[in-house]
């Protein structure tokens, strides 16, 4: 199911007649991926669903002879057991069937490689090893929860997806329910001898602890690049599993310390009662050990493993091994030499040197203990999963169990119920010094504010200030024309006086934009007096601006602002722009006040000379010289007469 994309050669096609065959009218076999002791795995194309799959075809000779029924049942059981597992770390099984004398399974195709190749490459770091073992044990924990035992955990059955490197456990072909396998009575053992538990070899008994043992052997191999027990054949390897403890990993990889020795020793204890009872408990042990490994050790790559011996290759294959009669394994154990009887020690002598050495040893132990707890692996722990989204009491208990010191702060949150943890600093899965507290942010629930009274009728600015003053800062304002209130007055609010409102809720206000606009009459071209009368009739105020215009007759309106036929606020001001005629034409100022007449004439570019007494008595202009409309070069003098 794993391995790189494969293109068969002519020789391979000739050697394997199944390549190119259409199985069950649906699955076209493209290439052979792997061949095992029970079946051959092909890459195939599912023409019905248009996807690439792995097709596992049982060897025909296994369906013959005395063990035919057993093998057929095992092959079909793979689909039933694996199809019931829904886990990201398990290769999915889609279907099972027969085509003539062919028995097959269809499974998820996982392009890439397997763990065996990664171990041989020698680039596997301790950090990556823990990550892979975490997924393997998590997948097995899901199987064990359904009382399914895998029975064939080995590097070849851990596939690594191309590109992502995500591990997936494959080949549940040896798996069967614990209730079925716990009463095994046959005289054979089916499995991969290099990873078989001692009790499976000696008695045939298989339960969840046998999977745990296999993972322990797998961990040893990943950490050191070699198997713990090797022999000339399967029998010798099986003998070693039954009669010898797995050696400490630190004996083969000097940078690996006691935490890893203890982990592997626990997983591979020869007495199954001394192992974790299932994969879930083993997973806890793995994660606790990971917390004790310094970062600088986690990233050291493993040395490349030496090429496996023929015996090791044979031991890593799934096989049927005859199980000897009870006691045979111990009976064939080589005689152990009797340890020599030690000579009686000489009478103790009080020597000053021994006391000094004892004191120095004690100091070294104390210093080592101080380093371990203050700066070494014992000074750090990993923030456990599951401290966010639970009650603060549960989170504090989990942190304390992990050897960390919790502290908490509270803040309001509309999405997280009161008393639950919103976040943790540092986050879950991060490595943290035991002396530094882990800060839990705990929810106080929704923060409420009392809506201020009298929002409707307030000025918009005052309403905004009142809302922000009680903590309601998300404010949305829309505007409407209305004759009921002055411009900028709040005429509607989405909250009522005294309402208790979450502080993150949006408050909507509708504000008056004043009375609806009135259409400005189009007075362009009218005499200024007529235009003023028309605008005043619509209750507009009128302002006047005089400008020269080459085309519009003097005294007529050229345009207005706002333009005619446009809307303007009722009672607002409309400016009329009145033509002074072409430049050089004396404007008409008769009837104006002296001040306005002077201003108009000066804007037109003329000097002004005043005559009469109108200025003294408040009378306006009665005459000009030259008269309005006559041509006069700018800079000339216009005399204005008053009474």
Average pLDDT over every residue of 237-247:
90
- Cβ-count burial of 471 within 10 angstroms (0-12 exposed, 13-18 middle, 19+ buried)? middle
Pick the CATH number of 377-443 from 3.30.2350.10, 1.10.3720.10, 3.30.10.20, 3.90.1310.10: 3.30.10.20
Look up residue 352 and give its two tokens.
């000053």
Say what the pLDDT of residue 547 is: 84
**Residues near 586 by Cβ (< 8 Å), separated by ≥ 6?**
601, 604, 606, 624, 626, 627, 628, 629, 630, 631, 632, 638
- How far apart CA 450 and CA 394 sit, in angstroms, is 33
- Compare 276 and 428 and report the one with higher pLDDT: 276
Is the pLDDT at 344 greater than 80? The verdict is no
**Of all residues in the chain, what percent carry a pLDDT higher than 90?**
37
Say what the pLDDT of residue 360 is: 63
Say what the pLDDT of residue 373 is: 46
Say what the pLDDT of residue 64 is: 67
Q: Are 431 and 381 in contact (CB under 8 A)?
A: yes
Across 140-154, 239-253, 309-323, 580-594, least confident range: 309-323
Q: Is 211 a catalytic residue?
A: no
Is the pLDDT at 631 greater than 90? The verdict is no
Average pLDDT, the chain: 81
pLDDT digits (tens, 9 = 90+) for 274-326: 999 999 999 999 999 998 888 878 887 754 334 444 444 444 455 445 554 44
Average pLDDT over every residue of 569-591:
86
- CATH 3.40.50.1580 for domain 528-562+573-641, yes or no, is no
CATH homologous superfamily of domain 112-331? Transferase(Phosphotransferase) domain 1 (1.10.510.10)
pLDDT digits (tens, 9 = 90+) for 392-421: 898 888 888 888 889 999 998 888 888 999
Written out in words, the top-level CATH class of the domain with range 448-512 is alpha beta
pLDDT band at residue 192 using 50, 70 and 90 as cut-offs: confident
Is the pLDDT at 336 greater than 50? The verdict is no
Range list of β-strands (E), 211-339: 318-322
Q: Are 423 and 409 in contact (CB under 8 A)?
A: no
CATH homologous superfamily of domain 10-108? Phosphorylase Kinase; domain 1 (3.30.200.20)
pLDDT digits (tens, 9 = 90+) for 59-89: 887 666 666 676 677 667 666 767 778 888 9
Among 152, 278, 413, 588, the active-site one is: 152
Average pLDDT over every residue of 567-587:
85
Q: What is the pTM of this model?
A: 0.49
- The answer to whether 112-331 and 448-512 have equal CATH topology is no
Say what the pLDDT of residue 230 is: 80
Say what the pLDDT of residue 363 is: 56
State how far the alpha carbon of 530 is from the alpha carbons of 357, 525, 542, in Å: 122, 10, 12
What percent of the residues of the chain are helix, what percent strand, and what percent coil, each to the nearest 5?
A: 35, 25, 45
Structural domain boundaries of the chain?
10-108, 112-331, 377-443, 448-512, 528-562+573-641
Say what the pLDDT of residue 356 is: 60
State how far the alpha carbon of 414 is from the alpha carbons of 5, 303, 447, 469, 495, in Å: 50, 53, 7, 20, 18
pLDDT digits (tens, 9 = 90+) for 468-524: 999 999 999 999 888 777 889 999 999 999 889 888 889 999 999 888 888 999 999
- How far apart CA 362 and CA 156 sit, in angstroms, is 48
pLDDT digits (tens, 9 = 90+) for 361-373: 555 545 544 444 4
- How far apart CA 263 and CA 282 sit, in angstroms, is 9
- Compare 188 and 257 and report the one with higher pLDDT: 257
- How far apart CA 38 and CA 174 sit, in angstroms, is 11
Is the pLDDT at 198 greater than 50? The verdict is yes
């Amino acid at each position: 199911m794993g391995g790189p994309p494969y293109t068969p050669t002519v020789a391979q096609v000739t050697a394997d007649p199944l390549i190119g065959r259409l199985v069950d009218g649906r699955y076209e076999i493209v290439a052979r991926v792997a061949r095992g002791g029970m079946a051959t795995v092909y890459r195939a194309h599912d023409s019905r669903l248009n996807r690439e799959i792995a097709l596992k075809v049982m060897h025909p000779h296994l369906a013959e002879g005395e063990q035919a029924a057993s093998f057929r049942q095992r092959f079909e059981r793979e689909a039933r057991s694996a199809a019931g597992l829904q886990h990201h770390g398990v290769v999915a099984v889609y279907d099972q069937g027969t085509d003539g004398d062919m028995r097959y399974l269809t499974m998820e195709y996982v392009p890439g490689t397997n763990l065996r190749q990664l171990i041989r490459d020698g680039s596997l770091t301790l950090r990556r090893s823990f990550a892979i073992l975490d997924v393997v044990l998590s997948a097995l924990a899901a199987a064990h929860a359904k009382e399914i035992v895998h029975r064939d955990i080995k590097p070849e059955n851990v596939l690594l997806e191309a590109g992502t490197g995500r591990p997936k456990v494959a080949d549940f072909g040896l798996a069967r329910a614990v209730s079925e396998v716990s009463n095994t009575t046959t005289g054979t053992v089916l499995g991969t001898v290099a990873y078989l538990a001692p009790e499976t070899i000696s008695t045939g008994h298989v339960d969840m602890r046998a999977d745990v043992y296999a993972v322990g052997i797998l961990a040893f191999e990943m950490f050191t690049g070699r198997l713990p027990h090797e022999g000339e054949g399967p029998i010798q390897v099986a003998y070693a599993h039954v009669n010898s403890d797995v050696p400490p990993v630190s004996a083969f990889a000097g940078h690996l310390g006691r935490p890893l020795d203890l982990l592997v020793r626990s997983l591979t204890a020869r007495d199954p009662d001394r192992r974790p009872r299932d994969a879930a408990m083993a997973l806890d042990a793995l994660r606790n050990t990971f917390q004790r490994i310094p970062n600088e050790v986690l990233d050291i790559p493993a040395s490349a493993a030496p090429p496996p011996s023929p015996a090791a290759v044979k031991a890593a294959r799934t096989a049927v091994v005859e199980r000897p009669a009870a006691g045979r394994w111990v009976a064939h154990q080589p005689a152990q030499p009797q340890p020599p009887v030690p000579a009686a020690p000489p009478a103790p002598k009080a020597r000053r040197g021994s006391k000094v050495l004892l004191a120095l040893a004690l100091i070294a132990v104390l210093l080592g203990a101080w380093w371990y707890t203050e700066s070494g692996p014992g000074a750090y722990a990993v923030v456990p999963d599951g401290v966010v989204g639970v009650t603060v009491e549960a989170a504090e208990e989990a942190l304390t169990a992990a050897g960390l010191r919790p502290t908490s702060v509270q803040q309001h949150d509309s999405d997280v119920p009161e008393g639950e943890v919103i976040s943790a600093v540092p986050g879950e899965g991060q490595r943290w010094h035991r002396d530094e507290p882990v800060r839990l942010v705990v929810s106080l629930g929704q923060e409420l504010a009392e809506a201020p009274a009298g929002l409707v009728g307030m000025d918009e600015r005052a309403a905004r200030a009142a809302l922000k003053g009680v903590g309601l800062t998300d404010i949305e304002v829309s505007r409407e024309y209305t004759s009921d209130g002055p411009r900028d007055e709040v005429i509607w609010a989405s909250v009522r006086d005294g309402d208790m409102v979450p502080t993150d809720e949006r408050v909507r206000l509708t504000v008056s934009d004043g009375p609806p606009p009135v259409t400005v009459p189009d007075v362009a071209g009218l005499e200024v007096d007529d235009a003023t009368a028309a605008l005043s009739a619509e209750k507009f105020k009128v302002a006047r601006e005089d400008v020269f215009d080459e085309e519009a007759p003097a005294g007529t309106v050229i345009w207005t602002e706002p333009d005619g036929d446009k809307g303007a606020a009722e009672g607002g001001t409309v400016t009329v722009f009145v033509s002074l005629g072409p430049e050089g034409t004396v404007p008409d100022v008769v009837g104006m006040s002296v001040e306005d007449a002077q201003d108009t004439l000066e804007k037109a570019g003329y000097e002004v000379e005043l005559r009469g007494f109108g200025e003294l008595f408040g009378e306006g202009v009665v005459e000009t010289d030259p008269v309005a409309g006559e041509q006069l070069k700018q800079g000339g003098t216009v005399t204005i007469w008053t009474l």
